[in-house]
């Protein structure tokens, strides 16, 4: 670890313990700057009148006020301001200008290889600022009980490595520190020791984009007994943190604004409210979206592999993605019924036990979805009408995934579903993986055949009863599924033709018999062998 950095932090903490009223101290520091604005500095004012106080600011002078005659000058009895110095000149100038009662120091643009904070000249400072320079290293340790309340090391090209060669916790002794400005550097570690002393502190870490988010989260979670945060982030909006691999909430984003952490904390709370209770879904911000109402955090919820028998309810507000893969869910009804599903755009229910999508008919989800994956379920039919007009080429691209379902295939499947799949293949990337219910033994169907199993004792070769089809729906051939009905109709035609033929023969025979009877006077066989019937009398 960087001992230099730690030393600084220790020093800050050390100083902090000596000042009871921090705010007052900071106010005192501000006052000199205001006084300086009056051009002629008349004899020191006896009791400082304390004009406007800038809370959370160290003694700080702009470049225009740089001393012209020397490197350092007193701007008021308690404050010293230096500009454009190197280590040697700084030492020299401070030796002259620092008084025992000097409590404020601002050094602008110091080019120093090693800044030793343990020097006696800094011992009495309550406000110490080394800004807008280039500091090679910060060494030494602030003395025990240092009164420093405000420390500004902004914009010095500092890295964590430069902060801590020798001492582990640089700010450990800064017990009176209430403001730390380490902005515009390149620190990679957060001064966590600052938040371990149970004191309130304001820190500005903006412009250090490589500080791990984990550290910020810890600092944000640090509360005193009163549940108010110990750490206030100055320049909050411009403070960013880096997500490392473990803290992998925001997938494609490396550097995020720290407000995302607060959002995540709130999200964790609503995530725990998902029912059934205790299923430990994880909820992450999916992305920000500008809506008319302002910026909205869209949420992705993952409840996969939770042994759920039904869809979870009471999702966090603005849930747009839900992953409930690998559960035992049988129904999609909640998607239509539960109001917390109304913003859903992506639903992943792979590897469940759902047997139809009819429950989604007319739901908001069907109108809105961009991705719906229901692969490896127990769908028996694809009710394509539920998805009518969904895959129009206009509008947002929509993907639907249904592979790994073993549906019941018949002629209708071949005539309706197969063309539908082919037509929408762009939107159904895995359309080739939609299967007809197994060819192969009926009893090895996913559901089996209960009747067959029940009566297996009486049907010794029950295992040999085969299903007709198997294989991808798109490879169904008309001949496989539609031949039975066609045979039947063909047969009907044969029968009709045969009947017509028989009728014609009959008519011909009767006509022939009549002609023979009329001309020869006898009836040919078999008419002459037929018994006389009552109606025959009528004929004669």
Ligand X SMILES: *C1O[C@H](CO)[C@@H](O)[C@H](O)[C@H]1NC(C)=O
Residues that bind ligand X (CB under 6 A): 17-20, 44, 56-58, 60, 77-78, 84, 86, 99, 101, 109, 111, 129, 131-132, 134, 145, 147, 152, 154-155, 157, 176, 179, 181, 186, 188, 210, 217, 224-227, 261, 264-265, 268, 278-280, 282, 304-307, 309, 323, 325-326, 328, 348
CB of 109: closest distance to ligand X in angstroms?
4
Joined together, the tokens standing for residue 417 give: 């579903």
Only one residue has tokens 């607060």, namely 262
Q: What is the β-pairing status of strands 294-302 and 282-291?
A: antiparallel
Select 178 or 193, whichever has its Cβ closest to ligand X: 178
Phi and psi torsions of 184, nearest 5°: 55, 40
Q: How many helical (H) and strand (E) elements, i.e. helices and strands, does the chain have?
A: 13, 24
CB of 184: closest distance to ligand X in angstroms?
7
Residue nearest to ligand X (CB): 18
CB of 440: closest distance to ligand X in angstroms?
21
CB of 56: closest distance to ligand X in angstroms?
6
What does the radius of gyration of the chain's CA atoms come to, in whole angstroms? 44
Nearest one of 365, 311, 357 to 336, comparing CA atoms: 365
CB of 391: closest distance to ligand X in angstroms?
20
Select 17 or 360, whichever has its Cβ closest to ligand X: 17
Select 283 or 417, whichever has its Cβ closest to ligand X: 283
CB of 228: closest distance to ligand X in angstroms?
7
Select 142 or 431, whichever has its Cβ closest to ligand X: 142
Q: How far apart are CA 5 and CA 171, in angstroms?
A: 8
Query: Would you tell me how many other CB atoms lie within 10 Å of the CB of residue 486?
Result: 12
CB of 127: closest distance to ligand X in angstroms?
8
Query: Would you tell me how many other CB atoms lie within 10 Å of the CB of residue 121?
Result: 15
**Is 274 in contact with 314 (CB distance < 8 Å)?**
yes
CB of 195: closest distance to ligand X in angstroms?
16
Phi and psi torsions of 252, nearest 5°: -95, -5
Query: Would you tell me how many other CB atoms lie within 10 Å of the CB of residue 463?
Result: 13
CB of 22: closest distance to ligand X in angstroms?
6
Select 174 or 481, whichever has its Cβ closest to ligand X: 174
Select 68 or 101, whichever has its Cβ closest to ligand X: 101
Select 188 or 340, whichever has its Cβ closest to ligand X: 188
Beta bridge partner(s), residue 471: 436
Output the DSSP codes for 149-171: -EEE--SS--BHHHH-SS-S-TT
Q: Up-side HSE of residue 300: CA atoms within 13 Å toward CB?
A: 14
Select 28 or 414, whichever has its Cβ closest to ligand X: 28
Joined together, the tokens standing for residue 17 give: 């313990």
- Please tell me the chain's helix, strand, coil percentages from 3-state DSSP, rounded to the nearest 5: 35, 20, 45
Select 78 or 201, whichever has its Cβ closest to ligand X: 78
Task: Please tell me whether residue 487 adopts helix, strand or coil conformation.
Answer: helix
């Amino acid at each position: 670890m960087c001992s230099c950095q730690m030393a600084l932090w220790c020093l800050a903490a050390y100083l902090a313990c000596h000042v009871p009223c921090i705010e007052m101290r900071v106010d005192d520091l501000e006052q000199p700057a205001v006084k300086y604005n009056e051009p002629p500095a008349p004899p020191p004012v006896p009791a400082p009148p304390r004009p406007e106080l800038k809370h959370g600011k160290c003694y700080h002078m702009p470049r225009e006020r740089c001393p012209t005659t020397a490197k350092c000058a007193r701007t008021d009895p308690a404050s010293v301001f230096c500009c454009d110095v190197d280590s040697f000149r700084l030492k020299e100038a401070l030796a002259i200008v620092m008084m025992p009662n000097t409590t404020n120091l601002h050094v602008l643009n110091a080019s120093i290889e090693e800044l030793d904070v343990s020097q006696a000249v800094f011992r009495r400072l309550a406000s110490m600022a080394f800004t807008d320079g280039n500091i090679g290293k910060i060494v030494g340790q602030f003395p025990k009980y240092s009164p420093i309340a405000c420390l500004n090391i902004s914009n010095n090209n500092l890295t964590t490595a430069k902060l801590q060669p020798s001492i582990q916790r640089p700010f450990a002794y800064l017990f009176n520190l209430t403001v730390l400005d380490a902005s515009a550097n390149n620190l990679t570690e957060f001064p966590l020791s600052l938040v371990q002393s149970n004191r309130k502190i304001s820190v500005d870490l903006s412009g250090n984009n490589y500080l791990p988010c984990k550290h910020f989260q810890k600092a944000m979670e640090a509360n005193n007994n009163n549940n108010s945060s110990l750490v206030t982030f100055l320049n909050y909006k411009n403070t960013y943190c880096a997500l490392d691999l473990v803290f992998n909430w925001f997938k494609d984003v490396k550097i995020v604004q720290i407000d995302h952490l607060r959002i995540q904390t709130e999200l964790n709370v609503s995530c725990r409210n998902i029912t059934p209770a205790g299923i430990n879904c994880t909820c992450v911000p999916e992305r920000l979206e500008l809506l008319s109402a302002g910026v909205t955090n869209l949420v992705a919820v993952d409840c996969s592999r939770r042994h759920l028998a039904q869809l979870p309810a009471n999702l966090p507000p603005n849930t747009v993605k839900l992953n409930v893969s690998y559960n035992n869910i049988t129904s999609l009804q909640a998607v239509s019924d539960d109001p917390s599903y109304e913003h859903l755009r992506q639903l992943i229910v792979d590897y469940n036990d759902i047997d139809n999508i009819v429950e989604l008919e007319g739901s908001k989800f069907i109108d809105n979805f961009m991705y719906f994956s229901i692969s490896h379920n127990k769908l028996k039919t694809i009710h394509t009408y539920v998805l009518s007009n969904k895959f129009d080429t206009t509008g947002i691209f929509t993907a639907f995934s249904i592979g790994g379902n073993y549906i019941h295939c018949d002629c209708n499947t071949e005539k309706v579903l197969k063309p539908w799949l082919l037509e929408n293949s762009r939107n159904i990337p895995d359309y080739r993986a939609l299967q007809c219910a197994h060819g192969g033994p009926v009893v090895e169907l996913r559901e089996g055949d209960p009747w067959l199993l029940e009566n297996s004792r009486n049907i010794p070769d029950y295992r040999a009863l085969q299903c007709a089809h198997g294989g991808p729906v798109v490879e169904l051939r008309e001949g496989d599924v539609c031949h039975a009905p066609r045979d039947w109709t063909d047969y009907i035609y044969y029968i009709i033709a045969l009947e017509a033929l028989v009728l014609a023969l009959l008519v011909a025979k009767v006509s022939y018999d009549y002609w023979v009877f009329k001309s020869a006077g006898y009836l040919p066989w078999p008419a002459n062998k037929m018994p006389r019937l009552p109606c025959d009398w009528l004929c004669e």
